[in-house]
Structure 1
Amino acid sequence: MGYINIFRTLLGKTAVEPSNPANEHKTTRHLPSHMQTERRNKKRLNARKGTRALIIDDSPTIIFALKKMLQSTGYVTFEASDAEQGMALARKERPDIIFLDIVLPGMNGFAALRMLRRDPLTQPIPIIMISSNEQATEQFFGSRIGAEDFMKKPFSRFEVFARIERLLDADLIPRRISVPASDSVPKNLNS
C-alpha cells in the first residue's frame, strides 16, 4: 500500500471507492469478522465530549491522524513522541485513555506499559497498544501486563472507535476492562 493510501486509511478514508461493494471488505480486512458485521448493523457509541486521550508515538503521521480522528468527535488530546515524555504527561494530565506505540526511541512501549500499570496515578487508565507488527506474542505480552487492546498500523477510523467503544462504561467514559490482582500496587513499597 502506498503512502497516500496508508494516510487515507489512517484518516478513515478508503483507498478504494466505498460505493463498490466488491471492494468494501478492503477497509476492514484486518478486523475480526464480528467487528466487520457489527459495523453495518449497529450505531456507533461515542465517548462523551471532552474525553481526554494521550497519544504516545514517535511517528508524526500517526499522532496527526489519531489526533484528527479523536478531536473530530470532541476529544481533548495530548501527544508525546517518546515513552518518558508520555509517562510524565499521563501523570500530569490523567487522561481517560492512552494510545501507546510499542516501538519507541529509548524506552519501548512494553516497559512504559509496565511502569504505567505500577503507578497508582496511571494504573486505572485504559491503554490500547499500537504497532505496525501484528505478532501474536506482542498482543499476548501486552495483555499480560495490562493493555486493554491492540491495534495494528495502519488502522482505520472505524477500528479506532470500535476499540474505544468496547471500553466505554455507562457514563461513556473509557474504563479498564478489568484490573487484575497482579496490577495492584503494594501500599508499602519498602517491605
Structure 2
Amino acid sequence: MAGFDVFKRLFGGDPSERRAVPRDGVPKGAWVLVVDDSATIRAVLGKMLNQDGHVVFKAPDGEAAIELARKERPDLIFLDIVLPGMNGFAVLRALRRDPLTRDIPIVMISGNLQATEQFYVQRFGADDFMKKPFGRGEVFARIQHLTKTGRLVVRQRTAEESLPAQPEHTEAEHAAIPDIAMPDPHDLIVPPNGHS
C-alpha cells in the first residue's frame, strides 16, 4: 500500500481531484451531441463531458442525430462514421446543408483510421477526426483546439431552452462506468517492477 501512496504523490493525488481542476482553454457548459450506435461509447464519452461541466445529448443513429441537432442546436457534435442506416458521412452532409446546423463544429469518430476516411471527413466539412479508442486527453484536446481556432463557441441559452428531460442512463448507471473503459495512455500507472 505504501507504493500506491508514492504514486499518488508523484501523479498529483487521486483522479477525482485531477478532474476537478479546470482545463485551460476549454469552455464550460457547452451543449454536446454524442452520436454513436454503441451505448458504451455514448455513456463513456458522455461521462467524460459531464464531468467537465458540459450538457450531453445522445443519439444512437443518424436520423435521431439530425432531429436532435435541429431541435437542441448543440455547440459541438461528436459523430461516429459507422452507424446503422444513415452513415456518419450522410449525417455530416445533411447537417452541413441545413441552415440550422451548418455552423456546428463536428468531430468525426471512428475505430478505423484510414486515409480515405480522413479525406472524406475533410471533404464533407468535418472540423476534426478522433480515432477510437480514445481517452480523456484526446477528447479535451479536440475541444481545446476547436475553441482556440474559434470554431467552438458556447452560445448563450435563453430560459425557454430546456435541458434534456431524461438522461439515457441513470446516475447510478453512469457512475458505474469505469474511467478505465477508455484510458488515456498518459493516465496509466505502471508498477515499479514494470509488470501490470
Q: TM-score range, shorter-chain basis?
A: 0.5 to 0.7
Question: In 2, Cα distance between the equivalents of 1:50 and 1:69?
Answer: 13
Check 1:173–1:46 CA distance in 2 against 1; reply closer, same or farther (3 A cut): farther
Query: For 1:53-106, what per-residue CA distance to the aligned partner results, in whole angstroms no more than 9, with x for missing partners?
Result: 000100011001100000001000000000000000000000000000000000
Q: Aligned partners of 2:94, 2:32: CA distance in 1, in Å? A: 18
* Cα distance in 2 between the residues matched to 1:89 and 1:50: 18
2:152 is equivalent to residue 174 of structure 1: yes
Q: Which residue of 2 aligns with 1:116?
A: 95
Higher relative contact order (CA closer than 8 Å, sequence separation 6+): 1
Contact kept? 1:53, 1:75, Cα under 8 Å: yes
Task: State the Cα distance separating 1:50 from its structure 2 match.
Answer: 1.5
Quick one: which amino acid aligns to residue 135 of structure 2? S
| 1:143 aligned counterpart, secondary structure | helix
Residues 95 and 125 in structure 1, CA contact (< 8 A), matched pair in contact too: yes
Q: Which amino acid aligns with 2:24?
A: L
Shift of 1:47: 3.1
Superposed CA RMSD in Å reads 1.8
Paired AA for residue 130 in structure 2: M
- 3-state SS, counterpart of residue 130 of structure 1: strand
Which residue does the alignment assign to 1:185? Answer: none
Q: CA separation in 2, counterparts of 1:139 and 1:56?
A: 18
Q: In the alignment, which residue of structure 1 is the partner of 2:106?
A: 127
| AA aligned opposite 2:140 | F
Contact 1:130–1:150 (Cα < 8 Å) also in 2 = yes
The counterpart of 2:117, out of the listed 119, 123, 138, is 138
Change (3 A) 1:47 1:173: farther
Which whole-Å CA distance do the structure 1 matches of 2:135 and 2:52 have between them?
15
Match among 77, 80, 88 for residue 59 of structure 2: 80
Structure 1 segments (4+ residues) deviating >3 Å: none
Residue in 2 that maps onto 1:105: 84
| Secondary structure, counterpart of 2:29 in structure 1 | coil
SS at match of 1:128: strand
Matches of 2:139 and 2:37, distance apart in 1: 18
| CA displacement, residues 137-172 of structure 1 (integer Å, 9 cap, x when unaligned) | 1011111111011111100110000011001159x8
Summarize the alignment of residues 26-65 of structure 1 with structure 2, pairs less than 5 Å apart.
44-65=23-44
Measure the CA separation in 1 of the matches of 2:26 and 2:140. 9
Gapped regions of structure 1 (runs ≥ 5) = 1-18, 20-42, 176-191
Distance of 2:100 and 2:148 partners within structure 1: 20
| Percent of paired sites with the same residue | 61
Structure 2: runs of 5 or more not aligned = 1-6, 8-21, 154-196
TM-score by length of 2: 0.64
- Report the count of equivalent residues: 133
Q: 2:24 and 2:58 mapped to 1: Cα distance?
A: 24
Structure 2: distance between partners of 1:85 and 1:75: 20
Aligned to 1:35: none
